[in-house]
Amino acid sequence: MISFELLVAISVYYFVMYATPGPNNSILTASGIKFGFIRTIPNIFGIPTGHGIQLALVCFGLGALFTQFPILLNILKYVGACYLLYLAWKMFGSLNVSSAEDKSTPLKYYEAILFQFVNPKAWVICITAVSLFYPRDENIILGTVFMVVMSTVINIPSISMWALGGSVIRNYLTNEKLKKIIECLLAILLVGTAISIIL
């Protein structure tokens, strides 16, 4: 039986982990600024889909693999950090929201799903959540469904705030100086996130 206390505890944990800065939220903010909220929706839904798959895999025992071979998590850290540094480099001069020749596109649904598998923060969330909150007395299928449903319900509104915030900032990018400042701040945020992943 899943208790009310467990529901509250896992909800608070998920909210804190999903709403705080990290690779997904940095990407969503940049996407909201560059493409607007509507075009960022596939990314918003791809994140909890990929994360739900990760959670299910950890519930079914994949977390033990990371415990047995911690080097795997280190590899993911460096891959994820390199991707964020690449995004930071691409950020400079990229916020031309009205540019006709700009051919860039927001992250697709499947790309957001795939990114979760090299996102070290997502793996840490999964492993910690299963370790602390998995309902041990439940059938493995019901327990896994509980973990994934709770994750998805908390994840979507928590990360949507970042895309929405980015889309609000988008309205002020007609000012060239402000555009440059925002590009620099976003790039610094991505670099900072990459560094925090490695450390």
At residue 101, the pLDDT reads: 53
At residue 164, the pLDDT reads: 96
Q: What is the DSSP string of 39-102?
A: HHHHHHHHHHHHHHHHHHHIIIIIHHHHHH-THHHHHHHHHHHHHHHHHHHHHTT---TT-TT-
Low-confidence ranges of the chain (pLDDT < 50): none
At residue 178, the pLDDT reads: 79
At residue 121, the pLDDT reads: 86
**Dist. CA 87–CA 106, nearest whole Å:** 12
pLDDT tens string 117-134: 988 889 989 988 998 899
**Dist. CA 17–CA 154, nearest whole Å:** 10
pLDDT tens string 134-175: 988 888 899 999 999 999 999 999 999 999 999 998 887 777
